[in-house]
Structure 1
Amino acid sequence: MRRLTAHFIPAVLSLACAMPPAAAWAQQATSLPPNDAPSPAPNVHPDVRLPTLNTPVRVEDIKVSGNKQVSTGAIMAVVPFHVGSMVTQAQITQGLQDIMKLYQQQNVGGKFHQSLNLDGKRVKVEWAIEETGGPAHFDKPLVLESLGFDGNLHVSTSALKQAVHRQPGEQVTPATVLADEKAIQALYVKKNIGVTIVPESRAPHKDERVTLTYHLTEKAND
């Protein structure tokens, strides 16, 4: 959804991160396309251009809403910038991922939405959090039975398997899945390709074994 105000041309980037119990803990989206820079709204003059993904902009405001189980102070403590900082859109997105990692460390499920209101070299950041119930507790790690990828058209499956750290037979946790997602994203960044990563876990044997599939949506540069 795009909005237009008198002074700001906002671009809304959103992602969802859910932490339900048992093996389904890996069913979460924790990455944004690294090159998914916003574009002007349809009724904006064609000469108006928004900053590119890697152009530093000044943070004018940061708003966090919806958080109840994790304090705003704890959230802002993990964000690597503050009001007045010069940051790129990629760094802002990394800040959101740091918040998501904090929620995982606290074992609190949630969905996270990021909105960037851009005006020239200024940006207002809004993070809306939908906490999904109480903490998700895990008694012990699960054993990875199989690992798969789909949607990868520009990066080979063999390259993806080499990029991740956990292989079948090894133990996995929410933290290791997040680390592997970042490894996959880093591989795509090297190739200058945007990607959204959604891991999906299943427990077909109803025990401690889990299958893990990374669903990838690629976005190559034009």
Structure 2
Amino acid sequence: MKPTSRFAFAGLALVAGTALLPVSATTGFTGAAFAASAPAPDAPLKLKVLKVQGNKAIPTADIMAALPYHVGDTVTRETLDAGVQKVAELYKAKNMGAKFSEKERFVKNTVQFYLVIEEQEPSAAPAPAPFVLDKVVFTGNRKVPTSELEAATSLRPGATVTAAAASADAAAIQKVYQKHNLGVQIQPVATQPNHDNHVVLTYQITEK
């Protein structure tokens, strides 16, 4: 009978996995004004042009929806900055990092506003620590002595435990039972008694 290879413990299934950590959106802005002198921060201006550049992960429509102003509205430099803050909050809510810069062009009492976004790639989490074997336990084997099973398997205390290694040893146990013309079901179960990366590997054996 084919051995069962379910690994009923927290963590081992993550040996080959990685996780993405959210990167908080940067809220510092830089601005460039295309005029010899910019108007006062609270001077009313008619928004003539509003464009978003550099965004890829978040659609422009979503960014425009987050901005509290549209072309044709009366704004100030302060309200333009406040709108960029809203976009930063949108990126933060989506666990994405970004840097923002503003480009403004003033013509009389109008402003052309360009929001340039530099999105940041999420960083990968460091690889988890390998699982270290503290002990191997065999349970349920009444017809085959433990010493024979220990001789057939390869994992020893201090070794790195992987799902593949545990499955290979389960297959080796099955071959021992086949040699004795006995049926068997084998279930490797790993536990972490100390809640760290050290595990106890138990082969639960059901003889047929």
- Range class of TM-score, shorter chain: 0.3 to 0.5
Superposition TM-score, scaled by structure 1 size: 0.42
Q: Which has the larger radius of gyration?
A: 2
Superposition TM-score, scaled by structure 2 size: 0.44
